[in-house]
């Protein structure tokens, strides 16, 4: 099932997408919800981010290339980082390049949406806590990585986390392809089989540190091929089973210095 959030005129609503039709729903997608009986054509609405995440957690350097072998022993402590929820935008919204720099990086990723409270779970049961999957673009300004290795600032600018267009609940995450096209040219196209730390491991590890909650989003890492882009560039992040998340890069209108 595909869940999304939309706006038509001034009406914001959530719905279930069936082909080109959105069936409006009311309620909490993680709990009780029901159809209202109203439908919209996908063509007549604008997609919003399919959820307002509770927390956003990313993982760094989590893919090998097609010609590399997966490490025989996965890292004991993966590199996780947080992104602020204020960085979330939806499909077709603009990604704003911060003042003072010309290029930032796109990263097309499979994004896990947690569906229930998750604490101290095993790898074997970890997938049971997932509500669904969406596409995330983990936009990054490496110029703002701290020399001591902290990534937070470079990951945190407004508009740096496009999500969408939908949350797909029926997906087998182990074998989907993560694609990205920059100005119609393919840049990323890797199977999730090339992930170093599996989704099960990520959830189990994180759940031993923090209680994961419905609406938490885990960005599961970017396949090889992400690169720096500039004003006017157009990025399409695609996972066939979910959809295509497209955004354009623009520069800021107002000059805001970050010192």
Is residue 160 at the binding interface for Mg ion, with CB under 5 A as the rule?
Answer: no
Q: Which is nearer to Mg ion, 29 or 56 (CB)?
A: 56
What is the C-alpha end-to-end distance of the chain, expressed in Å?
45
Comparing CA positions, the residue from 220, 203, 210 lying closest to residue 134 is 220
Is residue 216 at the binding interface for Mg ion, with CB under 5 A as the rule?
Answer: no
Q: Closest-CB residue for Mg ion?
A: 138
- Cα–Cα distances (Å) from 87 to 94, 164, 167, in that order, read 12, 14, 18
Q: Which is nearer to Mg ion, 15 or 223 (CB)?
A: 223
Scan residues 124-143 and list those touching Mg ion (CB under 5 A): 138
| DSSP per residue, 123-192 | TTTGGGGEEEEEEEE--B-GGGS-TTS--HHHH-STT-EEEEEEEESS--GGGPEEEEEETTEEEEEEEG
Cβ at position 109, least distance to Mg ion in Å: 6
Cβ at position 223, least distance to Mg ion in Å: 10
Total residue count of the chain as it appears in this document: 259
Provide the H-helix boundaries in the chain: 152-155, 199-209
Cβ at position 60, least distance to Mg ion in Å: 7
Cβ at position 219, least distance to Mg ion in Å: 6
Choose, by CB under 5 A, the member of 56, 83, 93, 107 that binds Mg ion. 107
* DSSP 8-class letter at 71: P
Task: Quote the CA–CA distance of 170 and 67 in Å, as a whole number.
Answer: 30
Q: Which is nearer to Mg ion, 220 or 246 (CB)?
A: 220
Cβ at position 196, least distance to Mg ion in Å: 13
Q: Which is nearer to Mg ion, 2 or 187 (CB)?
A: 187
Task: Quote the CA–CA distance of 81 and 94 in Å, as a whole number.
Answer: 23
Q: Which is nearer to Mg ion, 15 or 58 (CB)?
A: 58
Scan residues 82-101 and list those touching Mg ion (CB under 5 A): none
Q: Pick the stretch among 46-54, 115-123, 143-151, 222-230 that binds Mg ion (CB under 5 A).
A: 222-230
Q: Which is nearer to Mg ion, 212 or 226 (CB)?
A: 226
Is residue 223 at the binding interface for Mg ion, with CB under 5 A as the rule?
Answer: no
Choose, by CB under 5 A, the member of 222, 236, 238, 249 that binds Mg ion. 222
CA torsion sign, 142 to 144 to 149 to 152? negative
- Please report, as ranges, the residues that interact with Mg ion according to CB under 5 A: 107, 138, 222
């Amino acid at each position: 099932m595909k869940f999304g959030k939309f706006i038509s005129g001034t009406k914001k609503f959530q719905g279930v997408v069936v082909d080109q039709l959105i069936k409006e729903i009311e309620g909490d997608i993680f709990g009780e919800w029901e159809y209202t009986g109203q439908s919209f054509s996908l063509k007549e609405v604008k997609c919003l981010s399919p959820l307002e995440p509770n927390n956003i957690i990313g993982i760094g350097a989590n893919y090998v290339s097609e010609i590399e072998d997966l490490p025989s022993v996965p890292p004991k402590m993966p590199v996780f980082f947080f992104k602020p929820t204020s960085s979330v935008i939806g499909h077709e919204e603009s990604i704003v390049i911060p003042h003072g720099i010309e290029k930032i990086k796109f990263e097309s990723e499979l994004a896990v949406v947690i569906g229930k409270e998750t604490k101290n779970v095993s790898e074997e049961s970890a997938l049971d806590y997932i509500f669904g999957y969406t596409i995330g673009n983990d936009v990054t300004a490496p110029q703002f990585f701290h020399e001591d290795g902290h990534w937070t600032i470079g990951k945190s600018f407004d508009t740096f986390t496009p999500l969408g267009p939908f949350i797909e609940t029926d997906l087998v995450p182990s074998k989907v392809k993560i694609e990205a096209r920059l100005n119609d040219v393919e840049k990323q196209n890797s199977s999730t089989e090339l992930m170093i730390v599996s989704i099960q491991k990520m959830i189990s590890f994180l759940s031993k540190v923090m209680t994961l909650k419905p609406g938490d989003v885990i960005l599961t890492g970017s396949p090889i091929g992400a690169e720096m882009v500039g004003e006017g560039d157009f990025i399409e992040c695609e996972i066939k089973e979910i959809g295509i998340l497209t955004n354009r890069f623009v520069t800021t209108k107002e000059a805001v210095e970050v010192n």
